[in-house]
Structure 1
Amino acid sequence: MTDPEFSRPHRLDQIGAGESEVRIAAEDAERAALSRRFGLKAIDTLEASYRLRRDAQGVVARGHLSARLTQACVVTGDSLPARVEQDFAIRFVPEPAAQGEDEVELTEDECDTVFYTGGTIDLGEAAAETMALELDPYPRSARAAEVLRDAGVKSEEEAAPVNALAGLKDLLAKK
């Protein structure tokens, strides 16, 4: 496995009995590397604030992620500014030692689960993955529909099965 572009290891022995707060922000080179990894034109800012606390299964991290970035329209390639503002809940649990080991039970608080090995958790990689999950997978610019129409691509309404079978109804009525 390659090293993450935005690594912020946090030692488990720094997390006490109560809640601790940690803030992280990606540097220029880290944001450029993450842009390449996620196929983005640019990431202008990427910051996360964490509230960490131990529980019976591992470490629970709740917080907020903030990012300003530029995606490319999937049709035209036009630049599309985007903003991610996302609250999150992540449970860091030790990587299971063997395949037959019991499954990790999720509780009602519906945390995402991230596995770790050793004595650290990576808050930077967790933030990068949280950002990536919030991105529009098919961003479209204002002129995307026009470009598609000019290329002969039908809209979803034009290609709907109801329209495709409309002539069949008339044929069946004639029989």
Structure 2
Amino acid sequence: MNTPENTAPENRESEFSRPFDVRQVEGKAPHLEATEAEREALSRRFDLVRIDSLSAELELHREDRIVEARGRLRAEIVQSCAVSAEDLPVSVDEELFFRFVPQRTDLVPDEELEIDADDCDEIEYTGTHVDLGEAVAQSLALAIDPFLTGPEAEAARRAAGIGSPEDQGPFAALKGLNLGKA
């Protein structure tokens, strides 16, 4: 799974840790819900105004040492408009699918790896536990729109003397040209 730059480093304890023993997950259907303290810590980590709720319903299945988790993430967050900085409430409702696989030990440094689309959904783990809470937290991070704008964005652009995004970029100058008229 690709992780955003602002997610927790591997060597740091997750703000929303929910470890599950891979030997005992078959058929379990955990409900994960973040506490107020966990939501506050995740808000800081993901640079949000606040997280009002964060939960996930999952179904777990195991084959050998591979654990698959499917379910749904639901969250109510408040983030700042990318232009006006006004607080914007956002509802997140995302399907989840994780495949936890034992960490590979056969990798050679600087060796090219070929991966397929299924490999992108894999999260490597060591030992006997997978952290479902951290996987849910990373999924929330991926669901956050970093360029979210609200109803006051256009007024804030005008006040700052900035045009709309359509008026900027490499083709903006072509708009004003009177092409095709002789």
TM-score, normalised to structure 1's length? 0.85
Q: Alignment length, in residue pairs?
A: 168
Call closer, same or farther: CA 1:163–1:77 in 2, change over 3 Å.
closer
For residue 29 of structure 2, the aligned residue among 21, 29, 32 is: 21
CA distance in 2, matches of 1:160, 1:169: 19
Check whether the contact 1:40–1:72 (CA below 8 A) recurs between aligned residues.
Answer: yes
- Whether 1:40 aligns to 2:40 is no
CA RMSD of aligned residues (A): 2.5
Check whether the contact 1:58–1:91 (CA below 8 A) recurs between aligned residues.
Answer: yes
Check whether the contact 2:62–2:68 (CA below 8 A) recurs between aligned residues.
Answer: yes
Once the two structures are TM-superposed, the CA of residue 160 in structure 1 deviates from its matched residue by: 5.6
Matches within 5 A, 1:50-129: 50-55=58-63, 58-100=66-108, 107=118, 112-129=121-138
Unaligned runs of 5+ in 2: 1-10
User: Which of 1 and 2 has greater Rg?
Assistant: 1
CA distance in 2, matches of 1:123, 1:14: 14
Which residue number corresponds to residue 140 of structure 2? 131
The residue matched to 2:29 in structure 1 has which SS? strand
Once the two structures are TM-superposed, the CA of residue 167 in structure 1 deviates from its matched residue by: 3.7
Once the two structures are TM-superposed, the CA of residue 54 in structure 1 deviates from its matched residue by: 1.1
Unaligned runs of 5+ in 1: none
**Residue identity opposite 1:136 in structure 2:** D
Q: What percent of counterpart residues are identical?
A: 40
TM-score, normalised to structure 2's length? 0.82
